[in-house]
Amino acid sequence: MNEASLPNRLSENIPLTPGSAEAKRIRVPHDTVPALRSDHAGETGAVSIYRGILAVSRLEPVRAFACRHLETEQQHLRLMDEILTPTKRSKLLPAWRVAG
């Protein structure tokens, strides 16, 4: 089994799906960790934003919009969770969850 290279995947613009064998083979190069840490925090914040909208909005079009985007952002976050091990993630994730 070959290890997938993250930079190659990105440059080829090939989508990865969470849980896929390809995603599980990704090994993050050390110099890519800071950028992925920022991406992971952003996905965490996005999930919290859409959860927050669903917690307060009763407008059906807004809720439908938030549901669709929450599903997408949760998928992004699951993929980032697979790619970036917990020790490499931002220490500020709790703040991102609250701020979102």
Residues near Fe ion (CB under 5 A): 43, 73, 76
Please list, in sequence order, all residues whose beta carbon lies within 8 angstroms of the beta carbon of residue 13, skipping any fewer than 6 positions away: none
DSSP state of 19: T
Distances (CA, A) of 41 to 33, 73, 83, 89: 12, 12, 13, 8
- Nearer to Fe ion by Cβ, of 32 and 74: the residue is 74
- The residue whose Cβ lies closest to Fe ion is 76
Q: Nearest distance from residue 10's CB to Fe ion, in Å?
A: 15
- Nearer to Fe ion by Cβ, of 48 and 60: the residue is 48
- Nearer to Fe ion by Cβ, of 73 and 96: the residue is 73
